[in-house]
Amino acid sequence: MQLDETLRASIAQRLRQFELQALSAPGSRRAAVALAIVEEGFGAALPGILAPAAWSGQAALLLTRRPSHMRNHASQWALPGGSIDGDETPEQAALRELHEEVGLQLGAATVLGRLDDFVTRSGFAITPIVVWAGAARDLVPSEAEVASIHRIPIAEFMRADAPLLDAIDDSVHPVLRMPVGDTWIAAPTAAFLYQFRELCIAGRATRVAHYEQPLFARK
């Protein structure tokens, strides 16, 4: 899947036409994450996915692994993001977090749109923002917040075995996971990745806010 203007225009149009589902979550802390579309290329190794030896021109999504010392969601897969400060919009917060976590500074014109809000069991109401980041070749991880940076090809999220849905005792809704390489990513991050795949790439208006998180992701 080429990282080109055709892909950018297609994603932007689908997001403009999508009827967002904003969630009311009294008592939850507002947060935003960035689904940054970048070029596949050099990055931290991922089991089962061979990183290209050169910049490929293919589209990827930017993900991180959180350090083990983090208070919330230690060692988990994550999209760049965090709490919304003061009177920030979710878009402003997502762009700020991209800069703080991976050294990627982008303007408001790179925002393509939003996906549905997701309320987590750990007390956050998260708004996902889709951002066109281009090549983004010079990334610098924040030592305090990022253990590693990964450029996962969008094609990997289109696998026929995705999503993985697991029954759980305390909910009628299944836990959602997204397989990548020889491993997997859990909700809430997996929920954003799945809706991005369904809406932005496949053109299907799929809802994800009802999916559950595994027990370890609720802390």
199 part of a folded domain? no
215 part of a folded domain? no
197 part of a folded domain? no
15 part of a folded domain? yes
- What pLDDT, on the 0 to 100 scale, is given for residue 66? 82
Beta bridge partners of 125: 30, 119
Q: Please report, as a single letter, which amino acid is at residue 192.
A: F
- What pLDDT, on the 0 to 100 scale, is given for residue 49? 66
CATH number at residue 60: 3.90.79.10
72 part of a folded domain? yes
Contacts of 26 (CB under 8 A, 6+ apart): none
Question: What 3-state DSSP class applies to 199?
Answer: helix
- What pLDDT, on the 0 to 100 scale, is given for residue 144? 87
185 part of a folded domain? no
Which residue, 15, 27, 2, 45, is CA-closest to 131? 15
- What pLDDT, on the 0 to 100 scale, is given for residue 214? 82
Number of structural domains found in the chain? 1
- What pLDDT, on the 0 to 100 scale, is given for residue 23? 78
165 part of a folded domain? no
Sign of CA dihedral 37, 128, 16, 18: positive
Contacts of 118 (CB under 8 A, 6+ apart): 23, 125, 126, 128, 187, 188, 191, 192, 208, 209
Domain span holding position 86: 5-157
Q: What is the mean pLDDT of each run of 10 residues along the chain (219 residues)?
A: 96 97 82 96 63 78 81 76 95 98 97 96 92 93 90 95 92 94 93 98 96 74
CA distance 110 to 113: 9
CA distances from 172 to 68, 125, 165, 212 (A): 31, 21, 12, 9
54 part of a folded domain? yes
- Rounded to 5 degrees, what angle do the CA atoms 196, 200, 202 make? 100
